[in-house]
Amino acid sequence: MNSRERFIETLTFGKPDRIPFSPGGPRESTLARWHKEGLPEGADWFDYLTETLGIEAGKTNMPASIDVDFRMIPQFEEKVLDHKGGSLIVQDWKGNVCEISDQFDVSYLRDAKDFVTRRWIKCPVENRDDWEQMKTRYNPDDPGRFGEDFARDGTAVLHAELGRMGPACAKCWRASYRYGQRWFRW
């Protein structure tokens, strides 16, 4: 069983030959700590981990990708609103206003480069009118949502992925797509 088959078998409540091993990548501070604890500089952390544990992990191939932006359009402007006493008051790309340490910048909230403690101050949706405004940023028909090659490549990639996933995953994908359509029209 290859890693893709194992992953699909697990997600569809089947009987994989073993549990898929797929840890997420480390944050900056985690990687720095691992280097202090013995991870050689320049070593691929995943290869080193699997070799040290004595397991065959088999890196998973990345799934085929279609050029679709599922984030809000337009995103909020990322900006520093105030800087005082070792803290920044920032607005992130999702419109949240929060306080973070001035050791970090707003990009840490967008890219999850490291663990950043936040004190939430204001969220962009606080009432029904805010919700109605926010919904427009998730318009599935926004032309900016799709890349230039989507019309050409998207359908072929989608059908290939659904075919590889098998009927159970394809049903889940179709159901979530229909649910998403209903949600946007709510």
Closest CA to 113 of 99, 103, 121: 103
Whether the predicted pLDDT of 175 surpasses 70:
no
Q: Are residues 92 and 131 in the same domain?
A: yes
Q: Are residues 83 and 164 in the same domain?
A: yes
Closest CA to 112 of 13, 25, 22, 9: 25
* One-letter-per-residue 3-state SS of 44-87: CHHHHHHHHHCCCCCCCCCCCCCCECCCCCCCCCCEEEEEECCE
The reply to whether 159 falls in a domain is yes
Helices (H), 77-166: 107-111, 128-136, 155-165
The reply to whether 20 falls in a domain is yes
Task: Please give the share of the chain, as a percent, with pLDDT higher than 90.
Answer: 37
Q: Are residues 19 and 47 in the same domain?
A: yes
Q: Are residues 32 and 115 in the same domain?
A: no
Residue 173 structural domain: 65-186
**What confidence score (pLDDT) does residue 3 get?**
78
pLDDT tens profile 54-98: 887 665 555 556 678 889 999 999 999 999 999 999 999 999 999
Q: Are residues 114 and 37 in the same domain?
A: no
**What confidence score (pLDDT) does residue 183 get?**
39
Higher pLDDT, residue 178 or 59: 59
Q: Are residues 23 and 97 in the same domain?
A: no
**What confidence score (pLDDT) does residue 115 get?**
87
**What confidence score (pLDDT) does residue 163 get?**
55
The reply to whether 98 falls in a domain is yes
Who's near 47: CB < 8 A, 6+ residues apart? none
The reply to whether 60 falls in a domain is no
Q: Give the model's confidence band at 182: pLDDT under 50 very low, under 70 low, under 90 confident, else very high.
A: very low
Q: Are residues 132 and 183 in the same domain?
A: yes
The reply to whether 97 falls in a domain is yes
Q: Are residues 98 and 186 in the same domain?
A: yes
Whether the predicted pLDDT of 168 surpasses 50:
no
Q: Are residues 115 and 74 in the same domain?
A: yes
Q: Return the exposure string of 39-73: e unless at least 16 CB atoms fall within 10 Å of the residue's CB, then b.
A: beeeeebeeebbeeeeeebeeeeeeeebeeeeebe
Least confident of 56-70, 83-97, 151-165, 171-185: 171-185
Q: Are residues 46 and 84 in the same domain?
A: no
What integer best gives the mean pLDDT of the chain? 80
**What confidence score (pLDDT) does residue 152 get?**
61
Higher pLDDT, residue 23 or 38: 38
- Domain count within the chain: 2
Q: Are residues 180 and 112 in the same domain?
A: yes
CB 88 within 8 A of CB 80: yes
User: What is this structure's pTM?
Assistant: 0.62
The average pLDDT across 13-27 equals 86
The reply to whether 174 falls in a domain is yes
Q: Are residues 43 and 14 in the same domain?
A: yes
